[in-house]
Amino acid sequence: MIALLSLFATLLLGSSLAAPASICGIPGVRQISGSLCSRTYNNVLVSTPLGAAEGVADSSGANRFAVRYASAERWAKSSVATTWALPNDATDPAALPLVCPQQGVYDSTFSEDCLSMLLYVPKTFTASTSSPVFVWIHGGSFIEGSATDPGLDGSNLAVATDSIVVVFQYRLGALGLLAPNGSMNLALLDVINALTFINSNIATFGGDNSRVTIAGQSSGATMIRSLLAAPSASHLFQSAILQSDPMNYGFLSTATYQTLQNAYNGLVGCTSSDVACQAALSLDTILSAQGTLSNEALGLDPSVGIGEPIRTVNDGTLITTPLDSTAPFPSVTKPILVSTVLDEATITIYGELFRSPVPEDEFEGVCDSLLGEPRTTSVVNSSFYPPPAAVNGSVDARVQLQTLGTDYIWRCPTWTFARNWIANGGSAFVGLYTVGATYPGNEAVSLCTAPGAVCHQDDIEIVFGTVPNPNPAQANLIREVQARYKAFMLTGRPNDPAFVPWMEATSDEVNVLDLGGPGMIAVGACTPSFWGDSVPYDYQVFDS
């Protein structure tokens, strides 16, 4: 069982399957499409409190500014920048920042000096514009990703929503979340420093620092949940959008973090107090040990779950609440918008774990390896995951496993979170994407390109309006989502008169909007009496 779950831990939320592209001629890293590199730019200049900001303008309708927002020594807290500077000591304002160290990319494309952001500012904006600010936190299971990931060109979104769009980077993996000296949540502190930098400087670009909406997908959404659980960060944003957050996983406990940190120290051969040893480690050693720990984490402490073993920690100081059903939920006031996609678990189930059909008589055994006996009994005795129809005389249990995985990791805990949020003073709007755009790399799983499929990450290019050659359904959804996001940034409600009302969730009715189709989505297995009660989430099972 441990071997199977370790495979899940490696793959479930994992690494994007995207093939390497290029950063303006530098091969070997997943990046936004080459359009940002191939354009002809004219330089623009804005005076900021930290000095002159030199950016670039093109035909997109937005100016782009790259900046180093903070700096940090290895495994130390980052400090907010006090002067405006291009990332990585660049001299060309069109240059894109190097990504944070991560596996799967060439060494030449990453740097520990990676705390950078890209600002996309409509060309019509001036210092007196005072428009909303949309801040995107990228995903990547806390071990990969960047501000220049595919689809994250914020130009179209900025123009469509009449806002400033900011996309930034934070330290990943062991460098951001597993310091040998025991420092916790360094990556979360990076995120807070990015928001602090925006708060101090965005007005000169025409942004209103009192109307900042933070948004993110997958682990980026988990990072937002971490911010919502950190009272010291509350003043830095007014509302939040969480897309495909794997909420089944709670924050790590300090005890689990200590177990992982001790194991990591052993892998790199440095004690917690040996600063010289830690400083001398090569990035290859750091990343290799990180990969080994990720594969072994489930065997060290089952509470890490089957994905994202390296993640934010409920340290009691920065994060002060689990923000889930295991403890009294705090009083909240901010409006949130939460969404998932139709087929969150397809990539894992069909693309990696089970590339051939799974006989129906193996369904219960696979469930048991994931959930354990008590939860499996509730699942198999329920009516929510019936065997699919036979095809050519055989039944493929992967259909059930995909639905189960989607409900277990993403959909149902997200709806539980929305119920908790509104029961304690906040407002919440819940959506499910039934139309998407195949994210680069997802095409490696043929089912993700099938008509009607919407896999994990397939919402990203819809939000950003970066779908290459969108079909009519995609184009319509891009217009709808961007109009709703604009309204949400302005009013805290994602409603535009051109589209049907998006009803606010209540403690009795989640009111899930079909994003791509008519009407509402049925609650199904995500009823409170089933997931979270008959079938507890991982964060409930491992609560200590």
Q: Which of 439, 422, 403 is nearest to 511 (CA)?
A: 422
Three-class SS of 257-293: HHHHHHHHHHHHCCCCCCHHHHHHCCHHHHHHHHHHH
In a domain? residue 380: no
Coil, strand, or helix at residue 487? helix
Which residues lie closer than 8 Å to 385 by C-beta, 6 or more apart? 379, 400, 403, 404, 525
* Residue 40 confidence (pLDDT): 56
Strands (E), 7-41: 21-23, 26-29
22 and 102 together in one domain: yes
Query: 460 and 421 in one domain?
Result: yes
Give the HSE-up count for residue 374: Cα atoms under 13 Å, Cβ half-sphere. Answer: 9
pLDDT for position 58: 75
Tell me, yes or no, whether 311 and 409 share the same domain: no
The continuous run of DSSP H or E covering 485 comes out as helix 472-491
Tell which of 261, 294, 320 closes a domain: 320
Which residues on neighbouring strands pair with residue 214, listed in sequence order? 135, 240
CATH of the domain at 231: 3.40.50.1820
List, in sequence order, every residue forming a beta bridge with 433; answer none if it has no partner: 341, 515
Q: Residue 408: is its pLDDT beyond 60?
A: yes
What's the confidence (pLDDT) of residue 508? 87
User: What's the CA gap between 210 and 415, in Å, rounded?
Assistant: 28
In a domain, 389, yes or no: no
256 plus 337 within the same structural domain:
no
Q: Output the average pLDDT for the chain.
A: 92
Alpha carbons within 13 A on the beta-carbon side of 253: 15
Is the pLDDT reported for residue 245 higher than 60?
Answer: yes
219-228 helix and 186-201 helix, angle to the nearest 10 degrees: 80
pLDDT band at residue 10 using 50, 70 and 90 as cut-offs = very low
Asked whether residue 311 falls in the same domain as residue 338, the answer is: no
| Res 86: pLDDT | 97
Domain boundary among 295, 320, 345: 320
One domain for residues 292 and 434: no
Residue-level pLDDT at 13: 46
Give me the phi and psi of 147, to 5 degrees please: -70, -10
Length of the chain, in residues? 544
| Phi, psi of 64, deg, nearest 5 | -120, 130
Distance (Å, whole) CA 105 – CA 26? 11
Confidence check: pLDDT of 222 > 90: yes
Q: What distance lies between CA 265 and its chain's CA centroid?
A: 27
Q: What token pair was written down for 490?
A: 């302005």
Burial class (CB in 10 A: 0-12, 13-18, 19+), 57: middle
Mean pLDDT of 344-349: 94
Per-residue confidence at 435, pLDDT binned at 50, 70, 90? very high
Domain boundary among 270, 296, 320: 320
Of the CA atoms within 13 Å of residue 142, those in its CB half-sphere come to 33
State the virtual CA torsion across 200, 202, 208, 212 in degrees, nearest 10: -80
User: What residue type is assigned to position 300 of the chain?
Assistant: L
What is the 8-class DSSP label of residue 380? H
> Domain of 460?
332-357+405-544
Structure tokens at 387: 């065997």
- One domain, residues 216 and 309: yes
Q: Are residues 349 and 286 in the same domain?
A: no
With respect to residue 399, please indicate whether it lies within any of the assigned structural domains. Answer: no
Residue 143 lies in a domain: yes
Give pLDDT, residue 507: 85
Mean pLDDT of 237-249: 97
Residue 81 lies in a domain: yes
Nearest Cα to Cα of residue 350 among 394, 398, 389, 390:
398
Asked if residue 441 and residue 301 are part of one domain, the reply reads: no
Residues 243 and 114 occupy one common structural domain? yes
Report the C-alpha gap between 471 and 467 in whole angstroms.
Answer: 9
Return the pLDDT at 529. 96
Q: What are phi and psi of 205, to 5 degrees?
A: -95, -5
Which two three-digit tokens encode residue 362?
A: 């193996």
Mean pLDDT of 223-228: 98
Q: What is the pLDDT of residues 33-71, one digit of tens each?
A: 445 555 556 789 999 999 999 999 977 899 999 999 999
Q: Are residues 282 and 235 in the same domain?
A: yes
Tell me if 6 is assigned to some domain: yes
Among the listed residues 506, 530, 305, 251, the one whose alpha carbon sits nearest the alpha carbon of residue 412: 530
How confident is the model at residue 539, as a pLDDT?
A: 96
Q: What is the pLDDT of residue 442?
A: 96
Residue 393 lies in a domain: no
Q: Residue 8 pLDDT > 70, yes or no?
A: no
Per-residue confidence (pLDDT) for residue 41, from 0 to 100: 64
pLDDT computed for residue 307 by the predictor: 81
Closest CA to 12 of 295, 259, 284, 374: 295
Residues 273 and 338 grouped into a single domain: no
Does residue 450 sit in helix, strand or coil?
coil
- Residues of the chain above pLDDT 90, percent: 86
**Burial readout 487-510 (b: 16 or more C-beta within 10 A, e: otherwise):** bbbbebbbbbeebeebebbeeeeb
Q: How many CA atoms lie within 13 A of 467 on its CB side?
A: 23
pLDDT for residue 472 is more than 70? yes
Residue 30 has pLDDT above 80, yes or no: no
Q: What's the rounded Cα separation, in Å, for the pair 389 and 383?
A: 15
pLDDT given for residue 339 in this prediction? 98
Mean pLDDT of all residues in 211-234: 98
Share of the chain above pLDDT 70, in %: 92
Residue 246 contacts residue 305 (beta carbons within 8 Å):
no
Q: Give the number of domains in the chain.
A: 2
Q: Tell me, what's the pLDDT at 35?
A: 54
Mean pLDDT of 429-437: 98
pLDDT tens digits, residue range 496-539?
999 999 999 998 899 999 999 999 999 999 999 999 999 999 99
Q: Is the pLDDT of residue 116 over 50?
A: yes
390 part of a folded domain: no
282-297 pLDDT tens trace: 999 999 999 999 999 9
Number of Cβ within 10 Å of residue 468's Cβ equals 11
Q: pLDDT tier at 149 (50, 70, 90 boundaries)?
A: very high
